[in-house]
Structure 1
Amino acid sequence: MGSSMVRRVPLEVAMQIVEAAKLSSIADTRNMLTAFEWRLPDSYWQSKCDMDLIFEYDDLRKTNALVDWQFLALATEELLENPGWFDNSGLRIRRQTFDFLKQIKDGFLNLIEKNKKQTKSWDDLNIGSYRLRRPYVLKRAPQI
């Protein structure tokens, strides 16, 4: 009777319990999910996958392929918690590269916004030695 009560826990409460359990141990979280026979929705587990870092997961999500998202999310978190694996897998370099590219993109967009306020049309927009032309593709400006 006790286990049937645990199975009827509201979804929001189960998700909070899983979040708390993951802080101590991914293995304990797996065991708890099995013991309580909880199956959280794929959308929950997809939100736990770092799709910015491992963009292949987002590609997988978009295909609507049959995926055990619970297994994938927990296994990924377990691997990412291991500093040796994280460094040797190349994901540390990927994270640094993506962070650097985001900074460049943000700076570039700020520069465009600043220049847009100072110009009357997109045709007049100059960014350094680049000129932005419709359809807003960067082309090397002619050297003067």
Structure 2
Amino acid sequence: MVTRTRFDDSECPVARSVDAIGDWWSLLIVRDAFDGSRRFGEFQRSLGVAKNILTARLRTLVDGGVLASVPASDGSAYREYVLTPKGEALFPVIVALRQWGEQNFFAPGEPHSRLVDRREGRPLRALEVRSADGRRLAPGDTAVHKVRGSGS
């Protein structure tokens, strides 16, 4: 079996973040948690992922502090998975991926799910990267100050 490369000691915040999330199943689990899924069966039905894969990804997300496993809210013997503050902090990442996908992977007029402001019922404004003084930044307006010349 191939050993997974780990980045948990990398100087690069992107590498550590990717290492913590693990893979695309994990991001989809987090997406579903934002959409209200809490139980194993809800995640499994939504994603159609094999139970062993879902079990492993949920365990990784719990071990990484992204989700917490808590007693079921209905008092049953089941466990539920809830976003921790660390998990909730992924909200802008999920929104950015959603907006990028909307812009790049759907034909004009092609139907797709939409994220809307619950109060107003309208789509969100596109996320923007801004400087400390409020200027909108493009990739060429930024630079990475690397540690020991490695990673990004």
TM-score w.r.t. structure 1 length? Answer: 0.23
> Which entry has the higher C-alpha Rg, 1 or 2?
1
TM-score w.r.t. structure 2 length? Answer: 0.22
Structure number having the greater helix percentage: 1
